């Protein structure tokens, strides 16, 4: 681990945003591999690249990848492919993307789903240079899909079947389709939505903790300023050098966090975790948190997020028993 160099990227949301507001020709992110379930639900297969959830997509006639990131406030477009200031408009005759899926029996419905339900009408997006991620992960990265896109759906992140299910919800958070999951929900948990951040309360060593659930976190993080009793349950393995924002080198401790419980019934772990100063992170999340749980948590828990109801639902994993 000492051989590795960590880079933390802190996205500061820029004021340069672009609007997608063509009333008649809504712009959609097109997922060529999506499986259309019914009118308001689609399943999109993803790949895990360096513990990040990556979906294949097409956007404004460009093909590439998007990272699914509940820690990002809104849609982020890669400046390399979408130069700043360009208006996101598109003429109907240029919409060639849909014709590529002619082999699919439900092509018409799929295009409808994309046009009517995953359009970016009145959605803000940030344009940021993401070329360093492209280089280190060797992928063609169009952008990052964040909270302002995901919040209109119930989002099932399934690291067993490697797919994300997006199911449109109404204002109250009720799904517009009823036949979405054939497997039973095994547990339900309330969370707090603070700005765009999913804050989950739980216990470590019987002390209360507040963790942000962030699908863009490669590793779990624990704030080093946290109560000593909680740190007792952290078992260090190695020191790491990390390069933080502004290329400043910091030392962190990597190890495993034991005994994390969401409530009396649900325990998770042990989870690989790094201990670091989360002050900067808290600014980006818009709220103070004791730690961040991401891929490590989702690996154990097939998790459904409902932003409107502020609830998480869990479906049993055949690999890890609760």
Q: Which residues bind other proteins (CB under 8 A)?
A: 1-11, 35-38, 45, 47-52, 62-64, 67, 69, 71-72, 106, 109, 132-133, 136, 138, 140, 144, 159-163, 179-183, 212, 214, 216-219, 221, 237-239, 241, 254-256, 272, 281, 284-285, 292, 294, 299, 316, 318
Query: Do the beta carbons of residue 106 and residue 36 sit within 8 Å?
Result: yes
Considering the complex, state which of residue 36 and residue 82 has its C-beta at the smaller distance from other proteins.
Answer: 36
Dihedral sign for Cα 49, 51, 57, 61, please. Answer: negative
Considering the complex, state which of residue 25 and residue 80 has its C-beta at the smaller distance from other proteins.
Answer: 80
Residue 248's contacts (CB-CB under 8 Å, 6 or more residues apart) are none
For residue 144, the minimal CB distance to other proteins (Å) is 8
What is the spatial distance between Cα 182 and Cα 193, in angstroms, rounded to a whole number? 27
For residue 63, the minimal CB distance to other proteins (Å) is 7
For residue 237, the minimal CB distance to other proteins (Å) is 6
Considering the complex, state which of residue 141 and residue 189 has its C-beta at the smaller distance from other proteins.
Answer: 141
Considering the complex, state which of residue 177 and residue 207 has its C-beta at the smaller distance from other proteins.
Answer: 177
For residue 49, the minimal CB distance to other proteins (Å) is 5
Three-state SS for 109? helix
Considering the complex, state which of residue 6 and residue 207 has its C-beta at the smaller distance from other proteins.
Answer: 6
The two tokens of residue 142 are 């169009």
Query: Do the beta carbons of residue 63 and residue 54 sit within 8 Å?
Result: no
- End-to-end C-alpha distance for the chain, whole angstroms: 29
Check residue 73 and report its DSSP letter: S
Strand partners, 89: none
């Amino acid at each position: 681990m000492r051989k590795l160099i960590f880079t933390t990227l802190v996205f500061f949301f820029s004021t340069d945003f672009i609007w997608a507001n063509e009333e008649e020709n809504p712009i959609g992110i097109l997922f060529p591999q999506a499986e259309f379930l019914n009118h308001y639900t689609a399943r999109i297969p993803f790949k895990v690249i360096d513990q990040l959830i990556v979906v294949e997509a097409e956007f404004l006639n460009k093909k590439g990848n998007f990272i699914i990131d509940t820690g990002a406030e809104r849609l982020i477009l890669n400046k390399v492919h979408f130069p700043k200031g360009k208006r996101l408009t598109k003429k109907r005759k240029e919409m060639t993307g849909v014709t590529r899926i002619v082999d699919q029996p439900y092509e018409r419905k799929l295009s409808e789903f994309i046009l009517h339900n995953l359009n970016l009408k009145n959605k803000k997006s940030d344009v940021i240079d993401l070329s360093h991620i492209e280089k280190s992960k060797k992928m063609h990265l169009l952008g990052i899909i964040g909270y302002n896109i995901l919040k209109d759906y119930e989002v099932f992140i399934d690291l067993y079947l490697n797919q994300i299910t997006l199911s449109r919800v109404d204002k109250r958070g009720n799904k517009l389709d009823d036949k979405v999951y054939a497997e039973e929900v095994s547990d339900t948990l309330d969370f707090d939505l603070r700005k765009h951040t999913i804050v989950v309360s739980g216990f470590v060593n019987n002390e209360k903790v507040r963790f942000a659930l962030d699908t863009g976190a490669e590793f779990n993080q624990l704030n080093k300023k946290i109560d000593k009793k909680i740190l007792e349950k952290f078992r260090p393995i190695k020191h790491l050098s990390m390069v933080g924002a502004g290329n400043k080198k910091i030392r962190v401790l990597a190890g495993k966090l034991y005994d994390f419980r969401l409530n009396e019934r649900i325990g998770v772990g042990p989870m690989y975790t790094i201990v670091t100063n989360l002050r900067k992170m808290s600014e980006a999340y818009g709220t103070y948190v004791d730690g961040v749980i991401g891929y490590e948590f989702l690996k154990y828990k097939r998790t459904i997020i409902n932003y409107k109801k502020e609830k998480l639902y869990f479906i049993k994993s055949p690999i890890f028993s609760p």
